[in-house]
Structure 1
Amino acid sequence: MPENVTPAEVPAELDAYRHTIDNLDAALIHILAERFRCTQQVGFLKAERGLPASDAAREDRQITRLRQLATESGLDPVFAEKFVKFIVAEVIQHHQEIATQLSDEDGC
């Protein structure tokens, strides 16, 4: 479809799909926000207890589990693994920042 198509020229079916995609994108953002709120609490708990920011064994189990779920759902498991690894890397970075923040507060 040409880039200069006006909204009035967009087929109703395409518009409906786009509306659904917009709703799903919004839901994904809300779900990710909730996930990161929870992992932030995990980060504080780990830092308070002196636990490492990363748990490689758990991460491996999660990737295996989520690849299987992706396959069952008709989603490319390679994409699912990349997505999960991206999120986990961000979570680990947050956990490291939390640990640094708490150790700096204790050192004052």
Structure 2
Amino acid sequence: MVDASRIETLAQAREMIDALDAELIARLADRAKIVSRVAQIKQRDGLAARLPDRVEAVKSHVKQMAVETGLDPALAERLWHEMIEYFIAEEEKVLGKGDQA
């Protein structure tokens, strides 16, 4: 966990932000690989890309984690909304469009 109170200079802050950005990008790349596999599994199992119950469960979980870590849950929800929509669109390239509950 980052202790921002120990940052003394703007240069230090920027260096830490850049390092965190690199970690975030690496984790997003990992998530994208998993979503690619999920699309294959959904195709095999005859499932749609958009599963509304799962979307809501993920958003709810993310908001709860945000609260627990002191992050604004509205920010977390907005970020995950965009990410989820992007990944659903990627899955739809494999599966086609269509909803399933």
TM-score range, shorter chain: 0.7 to 0.9
Higher relative contact order (CA 8 A, sep 6+): 2
Aligned mates of 2:61, 2:95 — CA distance in 1:
28
Q: Return the TM-score normalized by structure 2.
A: 0.83
Greater per-residue helix proportion: 1
In angstroms, what is the RMSD of aligned CA positions?
1.1
1:69 aligns with 2:56: no
Structure 2: runs of 5 or more not aligned: 1-7, 97-101
C-alpha distance after superposition, 1:5-56 (max 9, x if no partner): xxxxxxx711111100000000000000000000000011111221110111
Task: State the partner residue of 1:55.
Answer: 51
Q: Identity rate of aligned residues, in percent?
A: 31
Gaps of 5+ in 1: 1-11, 101-108
Question: Which residues of 2 match residues 19-58 of structure 1 at below 5 A?
Answer: 19-58=15-54
Instruction: Count residues with an aligned counterpart.
Output: 89
Structure number with larger C-alpha Rg: 1
